[in-house]
C-alpha cells in the first residue's frame, strides 16, 4: 500500500474535527437537541457524616415548573454494592439516594427536576434536610493515621531484601514526599441527557469509555446491557474523571424513568469538587541505598493515602519505583485511610504523576549525596529488563532520551553546586528527571464503510472510541487514509456511540495505540475480503477504487479487530521520557519563574506530531501545575473543600509557562502493536514535578518535598546540609 505522505500516518495535519469545534457544531453531551427535555439539579449534603432524619420538599414543590424532588425517601431501589469497600473501577455501579446515610460533605442527597434549568437550580436550594450528625467524621489526615489499612487492590511487593540492600550501600536516604488532593476539572462540565423509554435507556453522556458506562448503568439499574445506549461523541477533557460513570448519570436516568421525559443534568463547577472524583493526598516515604559508583542497592516506596468510607481506590504511586531502575532490592507498600470524602480516582497518570515526584526527587537527592551528575546516575542504573515484572521491555530508549535531552537543553552548563548561578536577585537552577509510563494496548474493533463515487473512494470509520480532546478523530482518519490509500479528506470518522464496534475508550494512554490498530484492522479486513472475492493475491498492490470496481460494488462494509499479541504479553511495554527544566527563583520573595522546559519522549510511532505535541505540552503544563499551585484544601471543622472554583483552585496560565521544546525519538515498537504506537497522554505529566523541584534545589539549595511549592514555603525552607549560602 502506498503511503500518502500528505495526510497518512506520521503527518502533522490539523484536527479533522477542528472546524466543527470552532463553529460550535461539535456536539457535547448536554448540547444534543432532545424534545420535551427537563432539567435536573443535584442537592449536596452539608455534613460530612451522619444521617438524614427529615426532608421537607414542600417549598420546592410549590414552585412553578418543579416536576419532582427525589431523595432517599422516594428514590427507586438500585443495585448497591455486594461487598464491603469494593474497588472503584471504570465499570463500577454508582448507587445513589439509597439510604439516609451521609458519608461525606457534598454527597448527592437529592435531585430536583423542573421545566427549566433556572427553576431546578432555585428549587434545589429550598429543599430542607435535617441531620443527625455524627460528631466524629474522619476529615483530618494527620489525626487519622491509626485507621490506615492494607488495600486489597494494590498489594505490597518485595524483591530481594531491603535491609541487606541498605546495609551494603555507601550512601542511604530516607525522605517523605507529600502531594495534595487535586481535582481534574476538565473544561467541559460533567453532563448527561438521559431518556428512559420502554425500559431502554439512551444517555448522551460525557464519558471516556462508552462500553464501561453501559456496564455501570445496566448494573446499577439491573437491566440488560443491550437496552442501554451511550453516546459520547465529543468530550471536553476528562483526565480520568470521566473514566467511571458518576452518580449524576444515574440520577438523570432515574428521573427520566420516573417522569417519562428526557432529563438533562449538568454537574456545576462547584459540584465537580465533590461529585466527580479527585486525586487523593499521598505521603510517600522513599528509602534509597547506593554504592559510591552510583549503582543502586535498595529502593523502597511506601505510600499512605486515603479512600472513602464506602469504596476503595489506591493510586499506585510505587509503579515506577518497581520497574524504572536496575535495583536488586525493592519494596513497594501501600496503605489507605478511609475518610469522609468521596472516593478518589485515577487522575492523569495515576501512580506516575505523583509517584514520580517522590522517586525522581529522591534520585536527585541521592545523586547530590554521591556527588554524581543526575543524568549519569540514571544512566548508570538503566535496565533493559523490567525487574518488577520479570520481563524484557519491548523497547526502552531511556538513556537516549536522557542524552538527547541533556544535549538539547545544554545540561553541561548546569551549575554544579546549588546557588552557584545568580543574576541580580535571581537564583538560577537546572533540574531533570526520567519518566516512564505503561502503554497498555487493548483489544479494539472498528467498522469501515467504503463508498465509490466518481472513481473516488470515500470511507467512514465507526467505533465507540472517544475523543477527550486528544485528537482521536484525527489520528483514526490518518490511519484509514494510510491503510486504504486515500486522502484524509475522503475519510469520515464517527465515534462515541455504543451502536458502533467496541473499543477500550480513552484512558490510561491506551487510546491512540488501540484506536489506530482497530481502525487499521478494519481497513485491512475490507481490502482483504475484496481481494479474496476476486481471487486477487493478498500481496498484490491494487488501489481500493479498483478493487471495488472489480467487485462491481459501490458500497462495501467490513469490521476488524486488533488485539495484543503473544509477544506483547511476553514484554513490558512502556513509553519513556526525560524532562529538563530551568527555574529562576527570586532570592528575597521565593517567587519563581519556569524559564525553559525540554521534554524528550520515546513513545513508539507518532501518528500526528501536531496532536502529539499538544498532548505533551498539556501534560507538561499539568505537571507544572502540580508544582506551582494545584491543591484542594479541606475545611477542618466541617470537611468541606475550601477551594471551590478556579478563583481559588489555581492552574497554570500561559504566563506561568516556559518555552517548551518537545522532542519525539523516531521509534516504531512492533512488539507493542503492528503500527508500533505507544501512548503519550500521561507520559507528558510524568516526572515534571520532580524536574522542577530538582531545578529549584539547584537554584536555591532547598529541597522541597511537599507540593505545591509556593513562595511562602520556599522562602522559609532551610538549606540542605552541605549547601553553602
Ligand atoms: Mo486517565 S487518569 O486513565 O483518563
Residue 318 maps to a domain = no
More confidently predicted of 5 and 414: 414
CA distances from 322 to 156, 361, 369, 421, 519 (A): 11, 16, 22, 35, 34
CATH number at residue 60: 3.30.365.10
Per-residue pLDDT at 4 exceeds 80: no
Residue 169 maps to a domain = no
Nearest to 675 by CA among 8, 7, 4: 8
Same domain, 532 and 592: no
Q: Which atom of ligand 1 is nearest to the CA of 468?
A: 4
Residue 304 maps to a domain = no
Band of pLDDT at residue 725, cut at 50, 70 and 90: confident
Tell me: the pLDDT tens digits for 215-256? 999 999 999 999 999 999 999 999 999 999 999 999 999 999
Distance of alpha carbon 531 from alpha carbon 537, whole angstroms: 7
Tell me: the pLDDT tens digits for 51-71? 999 999 999 999 999 999 999
Same domain, 558 and 585: no
Residue 710 maps to a domain = yes
For the sheet with 66-71, list strands across it.
Answer: 66-71, 108-114, 38-44, 263-266, 191-197, 200-205, 228-231
Band of pLDDT at residue 154, cut at 50, 70 and 90: confident
DSSP state letters, 303-333: EEEEE-SS-B----TTHHHHHSS--SEEEEE
Question: Is the distance from the beta carbon of residue 507 to the nearest atom of ligand 1 less than 6 Å?
Answer: yes
CA distances from 693 to 52, 380, 398 (A): 46, 22, 21
User: Which one from 283, 682, 706, 712 is the annotated catalytic residue?
Assistant: 682
Structural domain count, the chain: 3
33-40 mean pLDDT:
97
Strands (E), 603-646: none
456-462 and 491-494 beta bridge pairing: parallel
Mutation test residue for ligand 1: of 348, 467, 469, 472, the one with most atoms within 8 Å of CB: 348
Q: Which atom of ligand 1 is nearest to the CA of 242?
A: 4
Residue 260: what pLDDT?
A: 98
Same domain, 553 and 684: no
CA 112 to ligand 1 center in whole angstroms: 31
Kindly report the average pLDDT of the chain as a whole number. 97
Question: Is the distance from the beta carbon of residue 350 to the nearest atom of ligand 1 less than 6 Å?
Answer: yes
Distance of alpha carbon 700 from alpha carbon 492, whole angstroms: 54
Residue 144 CA, distance from chain mean position: 28
Same domain, 626 and 672: yes
Residue 6 maps to a domain = no
107-112 mean pLDDT:
98
Residue after which a domain boundary falls, among 247, 275, 303: 275
Residue after which a domain boundary falls, among 224, 252, 275: 275
Helix (H) or strand (E) holding 614: helix 609-628
The residue with cell 502533522 is 12
Strands (E), 490-554: 491-494
Residues 707/683, Cβ–Cβ less than 8 Å: no
Residue 153: what pLDDT?
A: 85
Residue 159 maps to a domain = no
Cell of 629: 499551585
Rounding to the nearest 10 degrees, give the CA dihedral for residues 146, 151, 155, 157. -20
3-state secondary structure of 32: coil
CA 473 to ligand 1 center in whole angstroms: 18
Q: Dihedral sign, CA of 655, 657, 660, 664?
A: negative
Residue 6: what pLDDT?
A: 73
Instruction: Kindly state the greatest CA–CA separation across the chain.
Output: 82
Question: Percentage of the chain with pLDDT > 90?
Answer: 98
Helix (H) or strand (E) holding 191: strand 191-197
Cell of 238: 476528562
Residue 331 maps to a domain = no
Cell of 1: 500500500
Tell me: the pLDDT tens digits for 317-363? 999 999 999 999 999 999 999 999 999 999 999 999 999 999 999 99
Same domain, 423 and 480: no
Phi-psi region of 410 (alpha: psi -120 to 50; beta: other; left: phi over 0): left
CB atoms within 10 A of CB 640: 23
Distance of alpha carbon 220 from alpha carbon 222, whole angstroms: 6
SS3 per residue for 196-248:
EECCEEEEEECCCCHHHHHHHHHHHHCCCHHHEEEECCECCCCCCCCCCCCHH
Same domain, 626 and 662: yes
Same domain, 243 and 385: no
202-209 mean pLDDT:
98
Same domain, 642 and 663: yes
Mutation test residue for ligand 1: of 514, 682, 684, 685, the one with most atoms within 8 Å of CB: 682
Tell me: the pLDDT tens digits for 704-722? 999 999 999 999 999 999 9
Size of the chain, expressed as the number of residues it contains = 725
Question: Percentage of the chain with pLDDT > 70?
Answer: 99
Give every CB contact of residue 535 below 8 A, 6+ residues apart in sequence: none
Question: Is the distance from the beta carbon of residue 243 to the nearest atom of ligand 1 less than 6 Å?
Answer: yes
Band of pLDDT at residue 2, cut at 50, 70 and 90: low
Distance of alpha carbon 48 from alpha carbon 42, whole angstroms: 17
Same domain, 91 and 212: yes
Tell me: the pLDDT tens digits for 157-171? 999 999 999 999 999
Residue 309 maps to a domain = no
164-182 mean pLDDT:
98
Same domain, 472 and 607: no
141-168 mean pLDDT:
96
CB atoms within 10 A of CB 91: 17
Same domain, 410 and 552: no
Residues 39/629, Cβ–Cβ less than 8 Å: no
DSSP character at residue 142: G
399-411 mean pLDDT:
98
Same domain, 543 and 603: no
**Whose alpha carbon is nearest atom 4 of ligand 1?**
240
Question: Is the distance from the beta carbon of residue 238 to the nearest atom of ligand 1 less than 6 Å?
Answer: yes
Distance of alpha carbon 378 from alpha carbon 687, whole angstroms: 13
376-405 mean pLDDT:
98
Question: Is the distance from the beta carbon of residue 348 to the nearest atom of ligand 1 less than 6 Å?
Answer: yes
Per-residue pLDDT at 210 exceeds 80: yes
Cell of 596: 525553559
276-288 mean pLDDT:
98
Tell me: the pLDDT tens digits for 680-701? 999 999 999 999 999 999 999 9
Band of pLDDT at residue 155, cut at 50, 70 and 90: confident
Residues 325/383, Cβ–Cβ less than 8 Å: yes
Question: Is the distance from the beta carbon of residue 622 to the nearest atom of ligand 1 less than 6 Å?
Answer: no
Residue 236: what pLDDT?
A: 97
Q: What radius of gyration, in Å, describes the C-alpha atoms of the chain?
A: 27
Distance of alpha carbon 657 from alpha carbon 596, whole angstroms: 8
Cell of 655: 504566563
Tell me: the pLDDT tens digits for 425-462? 999 999 999 999 999 999 999 999 999 999 999 999 99
Strand partners, 660: 597
Helix (H) or strand (E) holding 129: strand 128-133
Q: Could you confirm whether 188 is annotated as catalytic?
A: no
Distance of alpha carbon 584 from alpha carbon 429, whole angstroms: 6
Residue after which a domain boundary falls, among 536, 563, 590: 563
612-639 mean pLDDT:
97
CA 155 to ligand 1 center in whole angstroms: 21
Residue 5: what pLDDT?
A: 61
Residues 253/94, Cβ–Cβ less than 8 Å: no
**Full residue range of the structural domain in which residue 551 is found:** 18-27+442-563
Residues 725/418, Cβ–Cβ less than 8 Å: no
Distance of alpha carbon 99 from alpha carbon 79, whole angstroms: 12
CB atoms within 10 A of CB 82: 7
CA 313 to ligand 1 center in whole angstroms: 14
Report pTM. Answer: 0.97
CA 227 to ligand 1 center in whole angstroms: 27
Amino acid at each position: 500500500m502506498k503511503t500518502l505522505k500528505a495526510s497518512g500516518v506520521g503527518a502533522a495535519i490539523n484536527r479533522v474535527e477542528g472546524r466543527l469545534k470552532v463553529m460550535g457544531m461539535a456536539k457535547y453531551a448536554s448540547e444534543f437537541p432532545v424534545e420535551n427535555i427537563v432539567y435536573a439539579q443535584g442537592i449536596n449534603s452539608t455534613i460530612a457524616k451522619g444521617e438524614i432524619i427529615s426532608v421537607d420538599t414542600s417549598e420546592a414543590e410549590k414552585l412553578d415548573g418543579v416536576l419532582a424532588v427525589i431523595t432517599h425517601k422516594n428514590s427507586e431501589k438500585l443495585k448497591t454494592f455486594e461487598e464491603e469497600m469494593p474497588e472503584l473501577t471504570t465499570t463500577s455501579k454508582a448507587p445513589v439516594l439509597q439510604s439516609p446515610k451521609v458519608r461525606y460533605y457534598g454527597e448527592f442527597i437529592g435531585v430536583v427536576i423542573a421545566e427549566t434549568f433556572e427553576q431546578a437550580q432555585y428549587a434545589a436550594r429550598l429543599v430542607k434536610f435535617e441531620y443527625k450528625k455524627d460528631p466524629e467524621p474522619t476529615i483530618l489526615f494527620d489525626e487519622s493515621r491509626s485507621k490506615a489499612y492494607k488495600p486489597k487492590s494494590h498489594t505490597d511487593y518485595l524483591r530481594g531484601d531491603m535491609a541487606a540492600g541498605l546495609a551494603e550501600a555507601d550512601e542511604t536516604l530516607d525522605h517523605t514526599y507529600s502531594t495534595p488532593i487535586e481535582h481534574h476539572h476538565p473544561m467541559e462540565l460533567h453532563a448527561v441527557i438521559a431518556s428512559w423509554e420502554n425500559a431502554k435507556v439512551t444517555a448522551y453522556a460525557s464519558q471516556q469509555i462508552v462500553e464501561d458506562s453501559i456496564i455501570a448503568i445496566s448494573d446499577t439499574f439491573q437491566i440488560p446491557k443491550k437496552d442501554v445506549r451511550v453516546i459520547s461523541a465529543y468530550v471536553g477533557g476528562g483526565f480520568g474523571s470521566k473514566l467511571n460513570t458518576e452518580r449524576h448519570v444515574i440520577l438523570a436516568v432515574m428521573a427520566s424513568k420516573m417522569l417519562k421525559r428526557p432529563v438533562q443534568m449538568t454537574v456545576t463547577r462547584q459540584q465537580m469538587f465533590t461529585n466527580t472524583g479527585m486525586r487523593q493526598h499521598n505521603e510517600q516515604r522513599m528509602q534509597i541505598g547506593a554504592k559510591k559508583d552510583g549503582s543502586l542497592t535498595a529502593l523502597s516506596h511506601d505510600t499512605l493515602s486515603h479512600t472513602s468510607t464506602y469504596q476503595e481506590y489506591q493510586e499506585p504511586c510505587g509503579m515506577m519505583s518497581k520497574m524504572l531502575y536496575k535495583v536488586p532490592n525493592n519494596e513497594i507498600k501501600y496503605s489507605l485511610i478511609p475518610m469522609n470524602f468521596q472516593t478518589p480516582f485515577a487522575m492523569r497518570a495515576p501512580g506516575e504523576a505523583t509517584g514520580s515526584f517522590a522517586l525522581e526527587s529522591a534520585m536527585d537527592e541521592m545523586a547530590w549525596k554521591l556527588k554524581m551528575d543526575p543524568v549519569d546516575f540514571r544512566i548508570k542504573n538503566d535496565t533493559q529488563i523490567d525487574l518488577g515484572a520479570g520481563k524484557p521491555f519491548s523497547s526502552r530508549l531511556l538513556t537516549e532520551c536522557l542524552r538527547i535531552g541533556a544535549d538539547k537543553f545544554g545540561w553541561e552548563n548546569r551549575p554544579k553546586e546549588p546557588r552557584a548561578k545568580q543574576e541580580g536577585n535571581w537564583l538560577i537552577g537546572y533540574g531533570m528527571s526520567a519518566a516512564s509510563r505503561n502503554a497498555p494496548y487493548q483489544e479494539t474493533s472498528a467498522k469501515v464503510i467504503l463508498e465509490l463515487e466518481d472513481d473516488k473512494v470515500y470511507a467512514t470509520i465507526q467505533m465507540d472510541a472517544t475523543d477527550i480532546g486528544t485528537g482521536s478523530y484525527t489520528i483514526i482518519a490518518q490511519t484509514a487514509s494510510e491503510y486504504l490509500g486515500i486522502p484524509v479528506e475522503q475519510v469520515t470518522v464517527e465515534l462515541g456511540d455504543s451502536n458502533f464496534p467496541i473499543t477500550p475508550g480513552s484512558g490510561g494512554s491506551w487510546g491512540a495505540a488501540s484506536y489506530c490498530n482497530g481502525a487499521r484492522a478494519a481497513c485491512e479486513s475490507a481490502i482483504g475480503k475484496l481481494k479474496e472475492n476476486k481471487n486477487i493475491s493478498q500481496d498484490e498492490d491494487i488501489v481500493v477504487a479498483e478493487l471495488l470496481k472489480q467487485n462491481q460494488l459501490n458500497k462495501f462494509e467490513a469490521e476488524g479487530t486488533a488485539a495484543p499479541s503473544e509477544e506483547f504479553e511476553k514484554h513490558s511495554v512502556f513509553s519513556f521520557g526525560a524532562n529538563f527544566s530551568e527555574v529562576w527563583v527570586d532570592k528575597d520573595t521565593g517567587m519563581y519563574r519556569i524559564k525553559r522546559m525540554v521534554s524528550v519522549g520515546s513513545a513508539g510511532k507518532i501518528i500526528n506530531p501536531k496532536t502529539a505535541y499538544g498532548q505533551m505540552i498539556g501534560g507538561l503544563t499539568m505537571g507544572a501545575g502540580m508544582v506551582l499551585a494545584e491543591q484542594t484544601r479541606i475545611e477542618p471543622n466541617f470537611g468541606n473543600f475550601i477551594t471551590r472554583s478556579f478563583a481559588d483552585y489555581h492552574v497554570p496560565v500561559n504566563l506561568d509557562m516556559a518555552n517548551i521544546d518537545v522532542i519525539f525519538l523516531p521509534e516504531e515498537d512492533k512488539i507493542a502493536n503492528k503500527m508500533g504506537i505507544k501512548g503519550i497522554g500521561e507520559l507528558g505529566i510524568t516526572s515534571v514535578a520532580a524536574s522542577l523541584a530538582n531545578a529549584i534545589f539547584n537554584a536555591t539549595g532547598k529541597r522541597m518535598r511537599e507540593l505545591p511549592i509556593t513562595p511562602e514555603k520556599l522562602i522559609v525552607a532551610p538549606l540542605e546540609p552541605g549547601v553553602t549560602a
